[in-house]
Amino acid sequence: MSKTPFLTLASASAQLLEAMDAGEKAAVLALVSHPDGTRSGERVLVREGKLIGSFGDPVADEGARDLALKGLSGNVAVESGVYPLPLEEGGEASVYLELHHPSAEMVIVGAGHLAQPLCTLGALLGLRVRVLDDRPEFATRERFPEASDVRRVDFSDPFQEVKLHPWSHVLLVTRGHRYDFECLRKVLQHEVLPVYIGMIGSRRRVRATFGALLKEGFPREVLAHVRAPIGLDIGAETPAEIAVSVVAEIVEEWRGGSGRPLREVERVLERFTAEPEQNDGGTTDAGGGP
Amino acid sequence: MTNEDREIFEGILQAQAEGKPCALATVVSTRGSTPRKNGAKMLVDPAEGLIGTVGGGCGEAEVITAAGKALETGLPVIVEVDLTDDPLSWTGSVCGGLLRVFVEPIYPEGQEPNGE
C-alpha cells in the first residue's frame, strides 16, 4: 500500500494559519486513536469545502470531510471535540475535530501619528492589528508595541502581500492623499469587501477621490460602503481624539447603534419624569388641586 | 482564531524552523467543571518552557510529564487528568472536572525517532 499523504501537525498548522490569513474558516481533524495503533496524530484539514491531506481511506476521508463541513456550517450539534470515524475495512477510529474562524483584524495603512492611537485602541477592542507603511523608519515594532504585524510595503499594492478578508477593518491613513486613493482602489477591487473600510480626508479630498473612482467605473453602491471621511462626528482634532472617533464608528458597525448621544436617543428626562406641577390648568386632572 | 491559538501554531512552525523538538498538548474533551475547554492548547518546549495552558496549574504537571515521555517514545498519548481529587490544588473552586488531553511529540523534519 502506498504511503498516505496525511498532514503532520506542523504542516496542518501552516495550512491553518494560511487559511486564517486568507480569511477562510477551516477545520483540522486529528486521529486520536485507530485500530492500527500507530496512526494517532495524523491530520487532515478542510478549508473552502475541500479536504487537504488524506487518511488513506476513502470512507474515513469522506466521514472527516462531512463532519468538518457540518461544524463549519455553524451546525450547533457539531462542535470541536472527539468523534467516531468509521473506516473502510469496518471498525472505527476516533478523530478530534477542531473548528477555526479567522479573527477580526485592523489593518492600518500608514504608520504616522494617527496610527499609534489607532493601534492601541484596536488592540483594546481585541482586534489583531497590522500596520503597514512604505517608510521603514515608521513601520517599526517599537512604535507599535500592541500590533501583531508591522511591515514595510509598497503602497502601489500592499494587499498582494497582506491579504484582506471579510473580517478586516481597513483604515487608510497614509501621509499622502494619493496613497490613500491608490490603496482604496485596491481594497475596492476585492470580490468580498472587508467589513469596514475607512479613509481619512477633508470633504474636498474625499470628493475628489469619489469623483475619480466613479469615473473609473466603480459603482456608487460600492463607494457607499466606504467610510470617508473616517470616524464619527465628535469634533475630534488630535490623533488620539480622531482614533476614538474611528473605533467608535467600528463598534457602531458591529453593534448597529445610531452614533447619536444616548441622551438624545432615550430622552429619559423628557419622556419619563413629570413636569413640575403648573397652575395654568389644562394638563392636570379635573378636580385636582387644593 | 484567538491570538493565544495563533501564538501556539506559530510556535510549532518556529520550533520546526529552528530544528527543535517540542510537544503539543490539546484538551480534546472535558467533563464537569474544568478551567479550560476543548481546543485549549499548551506547547511544551523542553528547552524554553511553555506557551499557553491547558489547565492553569490544575493537573498541568501530569501533562508536562506526559509531554516529556511522548518526546522520548515518539508516540502521541491521551492523558486523563482528574481534577476532582487534587490534593495539591488550592484553587479548588475552579477545578473539579475531568480533562482528556491529547499530547503529541513534534520533531523537526527528518529527526523523527524510528518507530519500526
Segment among A2-6, A72-76, A272-276 with least mean pLDDT: A2-6
Report the pLDDT averaged over residues B38-49: 86
Q: Give the model's pLDDT for residue A99.
A: 93
Residue A104 near residue B50 (C-beta atoms within 8 A): no
Residue A77 near residue A69 (C-beta atoms within 8 A): no
Residue boundaries of the structural domains of chain A: 9-100, 105-260
Q: Which residue has the higher pLDDT, A63 or A166?
A: A63
Which amino acid is residue A185, in one-letter code? R
Residue B40 falls within a domain, yes or no?
yes
| B43 contacts on A by Cβ (under 8 Å) | none
- How far apart are the CA of B87 and the nearest CA of chain A, in angstroms? 29
CA-nearest of A159, A279, A172, A186 to A231 is: A172
Architecture of the A105-260 domain: 3-Layer(aba) Sandwich (3.40)
Q: Give the model's pLDDT for residue B100.
A: 92
Query: Is the confidence at residue B115, as pLDDT, over 50?
Result: no
What ipTM was estimated for this complex?
A: 0.87
Nearest C-alpha in A relative to B41 = A98
- What is the total count of domains within chain B? 1
**pLDDT digit string (tens) for A90-101?**
999 999 999 998
Asked if A10 lies within 8 A of B102 by C-beta distance, the reply is no
Q: Which residue has the higher pLDDT, B54 or B76?
A: B76
Residue B116 falls within a domain, yes or no?
no
Q: At B95, is the pLDDT very low, low, confident or very high (cuts 50, 70, 90)? A: low
Nearest C-alpha in B relative to A149 = B3
What is the Cα Rg of chain B in Å? 14
| B1 contacts on A by Cβ (under 8 Å) | 20, 100-103
Query: Is the confidence at residue A28, as pLDDT, over 80?
Result: yes
- The grid cell for A59 is 470512507
Produce one character per residue of A130-147: b if its CB has 16 or more CB atoms within 10 Å, e if not.
bbbbbeeebbeeebbeeb
Q: Give the model's pLDDT for residue B27.
A: 93
- How far apart are the CA of B75 and the nearest CA of chain A, in angstroms? 8
Residue B113 falls within a domain, yes or no?
no
Residue B9 falls within a domain, yes or no?
yes
- The grid cell for B8 is 501556539
Residue A195 near residue A169 (C-beta atoms within 8 A): yes
Q: What count of other Cβ atoms lies within 10 Å of the Cβ of residue A287?
A: 5
Quote the pTM value: 0.66
Asked if B1 lies within 8 A of A98 by C-beta distance, the reply is no
Residue B115 falls within a domain, yes or no?
no
Query: Is the confidence at residue A173, as pLDDT, over 90?
Result: yes
Please state the φ and ψ torsions of residue A152, each to the nearest 5 degrees: -85, 130
Q: Does A32 touch chain B (CB under 8 A)?
A: yes
Q: Give the model's pLDDT for residue B90.
A: 52
Query: Is the confidence at residue A184, as pLDDT, over 70?
Result: yes
* DSSP-assigned states of every residue in A51-67: EES--S-HHHHHHHHHH
Task: Give me the domain span that covers residue B79.
Answer: 3-106
Q: At A51, is the pLDDT very low, low, confident or very high (cuts 50, 70, 90)? A: very high
- How far apart are the CA of A96 and the nearest CA of chain B, in angstroms? 7
Nearest C-alpha in A relative to B23 = A9
Residue B112 falls within a domain, yes or no?
no
**pLDDT digit string (tens) for A219-247?**
999 999 999 999 999 999 999 999 999 99
Report the pLDDT averaged over residues A48-56: 93
Q: Does A98 touch chain B (CB under 8 A)?
A: yes
| B12 contacts on A by Cβ (under 8 Å) | 9-10, 13
Residue B34 falls within a domain, yes or no?
yes
Lay out the sheet containing A128-133: strands in order across.
A149-152, A128-133, A105-109, A168-172, A196-199, A226-227
Q: Which residue has the higher pLDDT, A3 or B74?
A: B74
Supply the mean pLDDT for chain A. 90
Largest CA distance in chain A: 103
Q: Give the model's pLDDT for residue A61.
A: 96
- Which is it for strands B22-31 and A168-172: parallel, antiparallel or unpaired? unpaired
